[in-house]
């Protein structure tokens, strides 16, 4: 199934899971959407979740998770993918105006909502991983 065609409840649960809600993460698993649960954890920095996506039937989600944190190889893959959606989705999480406009023109409002949730989650992850007080003495 294409990433844009899941039931709306999956996107709602993902939005909460990527924000750190373990009950929503578990709900995604229980409802049969392990790819979305792994995507949420991957965006939070779980490398094993990203590897599971990359090695399984959901490699595009693994590449997206890497691209959303600016991994150059992932960005190149997304740009060269025949389906423009993946790169546009990635760019929408970075508030790229043309990407947001494209999603609006294609009436993918649910993707815009999760793009914003992803942007916030990645921002928190970046702060957590690079905050100034983490200095080795």
Lowest average pLDDT, out of 38-42, 74-78, 128-132, goes to 128-132
What pTM did the predictor assign? Answer: 0.89
Q: Which of 84, 65, 72 shows the shortest CA–CA distance to 4?
A: 84
With a cut of 70, say whether residue 130 has pLDDT above it: no
Average pLDDT over residues 61-86: 95
What pLDDT score does 1 carry?
Answer: 85
In the Cβ-directed half-sphere of 6, how many Cα atoms lie within 13 Å? 18
């Amino acid at each position: 199934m294409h990433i844009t065609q899941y039931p709306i409840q999956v996107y709602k649960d993902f939005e909460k899971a990527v924000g750190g809600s373990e009950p929503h993460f578990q709900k995604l698993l229980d409802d049969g959407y392990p790819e979305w649960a792994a995507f949420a954890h991957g965006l939070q920095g779980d490398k094993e979740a990203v590897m599971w996506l990359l090695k399984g039937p959901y490699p595009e989600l693994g590449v997206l998770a890497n691209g959303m944190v600016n991994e150059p190889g992932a960005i190149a893959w997304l740009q060269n993918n025949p389906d423009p959606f993946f790169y546009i989705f990635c760019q929408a999480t970075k508030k790229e105006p043309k990407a947001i406009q494209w999603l609006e023109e294609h009436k993918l409002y649910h993707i815009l909502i999760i793009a914003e949730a992803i942007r916030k989650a990645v921002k928190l992850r970046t702060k957590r991983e690079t905050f100034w007080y983490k200095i080795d003495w």
